[in-house]
């Protein structure tokens, strides 16, 4: 089928196949993709509004034994720069967020080899009791898997105990590319594709808020990228059909390749990374292919402000968050290494520059301001 026919079908609301998505990815002009994706977005969400979140990323530890080749943030156990934040340190960060009018913390760390599940439970209770208005989204699927292995529990048992202590959402980190051919090469110690999807399936069944992510630029092929999207779409179909609680949003970005991580120091460095046009193509394809997702988030922390604004005309309807703090991609010299936070005023300015009305939301995309 021709590109024009596929785009026409997609714009009418018809589901496109894996093969048709490959055709669009490899043959469709970028501007044509963007135009169709934008029209779909305007029909699917409020056409006048772009949302944003006032939150803070808190990395409770940088200790990790997984050694992903793209990560410049982690430190091995015993390293002089290794840390575990105290509950009081984390609380002070939350207090600053409260002063900013924030509604959520996104808390992630490394795969620490000795922190027990009780440490995480006590942390969640500490924060929930002191800051009841702040939603706690924490611990990516790979962290849940790691904790379960340490404790000899199932991932569902870990999720249930963390929820009882105050967990309200599970962020979508650690997805990278949901294809084991790529995962075995870039993160051989991390959970495989089925594991990531399995933890998300359990989290959604339990009622947690979840998001889906994707990182391109690991030397993967276009078919790996589309297969990632297909697996997300299939799980979204399943979760919405069985219990009405799927992913709130899809959040793509590009791998940050620098001398600070193993991929950036590799003799094959030229094979890695992805440019702005590749990012915008992914945003547009995802809006067209992920027909059961309502929201797609632009990534100013990795792409910068100008490209994030442009993404709002390629299918994205959300500008992300203030963040207040970002340590992971910053360690690999991302945009946030120069500008680690964005004020509400700046977010409003960028959204208005793109031609939309800014509205503050919570994790589940309910308007709060």
CATH code for the domain in which residue 72 is found: 3.20.20.70
Question: For the chain, how many structural domains are there in total?
Answer: 1
Q: How far apart are CA 332 and CA 329, in angstroms?
A: 5
Tokens 């990795």 — which residue?
302
On whether residue 177 sits in a domain, the answer given is yes
Q: How far apart are CA 165 and CA 159, in angstroms?
A: 10
On whether residue 369 sits in a domain, the answer given is no
- Give the residue-averaged pLDDT of 321-328: 69
CB atoms closer than 10 angstroms to residue 161: 18
- Give the residue-averaged pLDDT of 131-144: 97
pLDDT digits (tens, 9 = 90+) for 267-324: 556 676 678 999 999 999 999 999 999 999 999 988 999 999 999 999 999 999 987 7
Give the predicted TM-score (pTM) of the model: 0.93
On whether residue 230 sits in a domain, the answer given is yes
Average pLDDT of the chain is: 92
Q: Pairing state of beta strands 135-138 and 318-321?
A: unpaired
On whether residue 368 sits in a domain, the answer given is no
pLDDT band at residue 98 using 50, 70 and 90 as cut-offs: very high
Residue-level pLDDT at 327: 54
Q: What is the DSSP string of 134-181?
A: SEEEE--HHHHHHHHHHHT--HHHHHHHHHHHT--EE--TT-SSS-HH
Domain that holds residue 334: 3-361
On whether residue 366 sits in a domain, the answer given is no
pLDDT digits (tens, 9 = 90+) for 191-248: 999 999 999 999 999 999 999 999 999 999 999 999 999 999 999 999 999 999 999 9
């Amino acid at each position: 089928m021709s590109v024009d026919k596929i785009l026409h079908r997609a714009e009418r609301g018809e589901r496109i196949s894996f093969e048709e998505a490959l055709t669009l990815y490899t043959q469709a002009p970028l501007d044509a993709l963007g135009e169709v994706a934008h029209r779909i977005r305007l029909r699917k969400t409020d056409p006048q509004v772009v949302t944003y979140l006032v939150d803070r990323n808190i990395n409770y530890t940088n200790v990790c034994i997984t050694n992903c080749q793209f990560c410049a943030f982690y430190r091995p156990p015993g390293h002089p720069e290794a840390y575990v934040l105290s509950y009081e340190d984390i609380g002070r960060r939350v207090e600053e967020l409260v002063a900013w009018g924030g509604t959520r913390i996104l808390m992630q760390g490394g795969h620490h080899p000795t922190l027990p599940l009780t440490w995480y439970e006590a942390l969640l209770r500490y924060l929930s009791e002191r800051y009841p208005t702040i939603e706690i989204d924490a611990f990516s699927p790979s962290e849940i898997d790691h904790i379960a292995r340490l404790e000899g529990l199932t991932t569902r048992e870990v999720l249930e105990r963390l929820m009882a202590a105050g967990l309200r959402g599970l962020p979508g980190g650690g997805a990278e590319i949901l294809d084991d051919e790529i995962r075995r090469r870039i993160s051989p110690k991390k959970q495989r594709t089925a594991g990531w999807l399995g933890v998300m399936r359990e989290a959604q069944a339990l009622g947690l808020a979840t998001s889906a992510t994707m990182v391109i630029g690991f030397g993967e092929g276009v078919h790996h990228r589309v297969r990632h999207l297909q697996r997300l779409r299939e799980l979204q179909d399943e979760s919405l059909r069985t219990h009405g609680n799927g992913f709130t949003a899809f959040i793509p970005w590009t791998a940050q390749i620098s001398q600070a991580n193993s991929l950036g120091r590799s003799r094959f460095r030229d094979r890695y990374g992805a440019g702005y046009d590749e990012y915008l193509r992914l945003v547009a394809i995802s809006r067209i292919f992920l027909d059961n997702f309502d929201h797609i988030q632009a990534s100013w922390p990795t792409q910068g402000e100008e490209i994030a604004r442009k993404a709002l005309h390629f299918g994205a309807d959300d500008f992300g968050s203030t963040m207040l703090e970002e340590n992971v991609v910053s360690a690999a010299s991302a945009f946030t290494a120069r500008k680690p936070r964005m004020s509400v005023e700046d977010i409003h300015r960028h959204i208005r520059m793109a031609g939309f009305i800014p509205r503050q939301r919570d994790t589940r995309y309910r308007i709060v301001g």
